[in-house]
Amino acid sequence: MTSTKRIEESLRESIISRPDMILDDKDLMQALISANERAMGGNIVDLRGIAMERLETRLDRLEDTHRSVIAAAYENLAGTNQIHRAVLRMLDPLEFEPFLKDLGGEVAQILRVDRIRLVLETAQDGNDTVVDRLGEVLTVAAPGFADRFVSEGRSAPVRTVTLRQVERGDPRIYGEDGSWIRSEACLKLDFGPGRLPGLLVMGSEDPHQFTPQQGTDLLAFFAGVFERAMRRWLG
């Protein structure tokens, strides 16, 4: 009995000296509130208890929202750093062919996409040795191809960045690799007055990497930098 009483007194003194231990413990506070309700009996409505329950529910929702906002901020920061690294790597080459090879290699790896393809519209016919050498990254198409490809035949205006999921990638863009492409980002390129537009397509095996619900600001920035870099090489 003496030992039990001494333990109880010790616990009592600890609580009195540090009441925040109780107040900060959600489960303990809930147990105390439940005990208080039982002590009052079933014929008494504890409006304060009801109000506290509602406040707890609202607090839980606020905490969930807070966590979601923080997670989104970290994700956005990571995406920004990723785009910046890709841009810096893209600007390193001083010649056109290394520029495009890096685009399909290290730049694609930094962006964590499985394939990157550049489509240049041209009104000229005939074979181009540069296209032959860089066929894994570069392809040419007739004027109007970019708009038709992005809009999928619809008359809606084409945005700078279009994100979508696909059943398979278009073989005109990806060749045989298109069979396992499940989502893509289409970046329409403006190379300036007097020049036909282009299209930069990023393909991914992951169907959730590019979806219409995602933001496009970072990819629009990447497209703007790519356009300006390409103008150095276009005659």
pTM above 0.75, yes or no: no
3-state secondary structure the chain: CHHHHHHHHHHHHHHHHCCHHHHCCHHHHHHHHHHHHHHHCCCCCCHHHHHHHHHHHHHHHHHHHHHHHHHHHHHHHHHHHHHHHHHHHHCCCCCHHHHHHHHHHHHHHHHCCCEEEEEEECCCCCCCHHHHHCCCCEEEECCCHHHHHHHCCCCCCCCCEEEEECCCCCHHHHHHHHHHCCEEEEEEECCCCCCCCEEEEEEECCCCCCCCCCCCHHHHHHHHHHHHHHCCCCC
Give the residue extent of every domain in the chain: 95-230
- What pLDDT was estimated at residue 206? 94
144-197 pLDDT per residue, tens: 999 999 988 777 777 889 999 999 999 999 988 889 999 999 999 999 888 899
Spans in the chain with pLDDT lower than 70: 1-7, 23, 33, 35-52, 71-74, 125-132, 235
Q: Does domain 95-230 have CATH number 3.30.450.40?
A: yes
- What pLDDT was estimated at residue 1? 45
